Amino acid sequence: MSTSPLLDIGVLQRLKIRCISETGWFDTATVFDDIKMAGGAEIDQYTIPWPPFGALHPDNAAGFSALLEAEATDGTMRRVLFDTGWNPAWMDRRFAEEGIDQLLQQGQIEALVISHEHFDHFWGIGSTLKHCPGLTIYVPEGFHPAGFDLIRQQGHTGKVVTTPGDQPLVLFPGLALVNFPMHTLLKVDGENVLYAHLKDRGMAMVTGCGHGGVLNLLNYARQTFIGGEHIHAIYGGLHISPLEDWDEARDLVVNALRDYGIEKVACNHCTGRTAVEKMLEVGIPVMRGTARNGSQTPLFVGNGDVLALG
Ligand SMILES: [Fe+2]
Ligand SMILES: [Fe+2]
């Protein structure tokens, strides 16, 4: 038997994930046309004049953001904001509709975790910081100077913590943050993923886009954490068919995902509708959303929907 030490991150009694906005944007063709016009997938995203830097297709810009409410075994509640969306106007609206503005003002959210630097997860940071400029922010190693500039320009007065690759950081008992080194579209490097250990249930994994590959991220939990041998739930973007194309390799991913025996799979929009339909076909327990507040299909756990675990 292997004696490699697994990491004990502690446990949570419950975890509630509120989807503030899963709609990174409303129309995929428009976003990818904008990228093409600006020079293609390998350009620096900061050269594209989207909000908040420019006025290219503002009505198509939305964002990704979720609130994690973690309940400790003694009943203590701790809150972390996971990503801060894209279009400040859209994020202001969603934060007001979900009461995130009040929670930030009251100091009831202790940190903002940025999954990765992509525009739809990060560029709306002004909407968070205007309610709580001193908030601690976690960014993955690989963040660009332009990203740090944006944080400063939005009036941040708190701490910015850069998470190094492959070194789990326990934010508080039961919740760990891991940066997966990766390089993806629009010169973005590194992605922070959250892992929660739920008492008597197993682990929950929360991703922004899952650019590192969902199977790699799940395997990491198995190899790293006590409790990681059973994944109870996943929430977030999985980037399996964001452009709705399909091939055999993707079938293999979905089949492997089924074999994990995860009890609750809650996907956001960049997972791709095609991928979620395939998951349903092979019998993966996909949580359905209510398709409200700008969310376009019940295939995704949508804007204003809550995934309650534990
Ligand atoms: Fe994504
Ligand atoms: Fe992304």
Instruction: Provide the token pair at 91.
Output: 């994020």
Residue 280: is it exposed, middle or buried by C-beta count within 10 angstroms (0-12/13-18/19+)? middle
Interatomic CA distance for residues 296 and 168, integer angstroms? 35
119 C-alpha to ligand 1 centroid (Å): 10
Interatomic CA distance for residues 107 and 131, integer angstroms? 9
305 C-alpha to ligand 2 centroid (Å): 21
269 C-alpha to ligand 1 centroid (Å): 7
193 C-alpha to ligand 1 centroid (Å): 13
Residue 181: is it exposed, middle or buried by C-beta count within 10 angstroms (0-12/13-18/19+)? middle
Q: Which of 200, 195, 137, 189 is nearest to 169 (CA)?
A: 195
pLDDT in tens, the chain (310 residues): 445 799 999 999 999 999 999 999 999 999 999 999 999 999 999 999 999 999 999 999 999 999 999 999 999 999 999 999 999 999 999 999 999 999 999 999 999 999 999 999 999 999 999 999 999 999 999 999 999 999 999 999 999 999 999 899 999 999 999 999 999 999 999 999 999 999 999 999 999 999 999 999 999 999 999 999 999 999 999 999 999 999 999 999 999 999 999 999 999 999 999 999 999 999 999 999 999 999 999 999 999 999 999 9
208 C-alpha to ligand 2 centroid (Å): 7
232 C-alpha to ligand 2 centroid (Å): 24
Interatomic CA distance for residues 37 and 47, integer angstroms? 11
Q: Where are the domains of the chain?
A: 14-309
74 C-alpha to ligand 2 centroid (Å): 36
What is this structure's pTM?
A: 0.98
DSSP 3-state assignment of 110? Answer: coil
Tokens 């709705």 correspond to: 244
- pLDDT 10s digits, 142-171: 999 999 999 999 999 999 999 999 899 999
- pLDDT 10s digits, 44-56: 999 999 999 999 9
* CATH architecture classification, 14-309: 4-Layer Sandwich (3.60)
258 C-alpha to ligand 1 centroid (Å): 21
122 C-alpha to ligand 2 centroid (Å): 10
Considering every ligand atom shown, identify the ligand nearest to the alpha carbon of residue 183 and give its number.
2
Cβ pair 206, 235 in contact under 8 A: yes
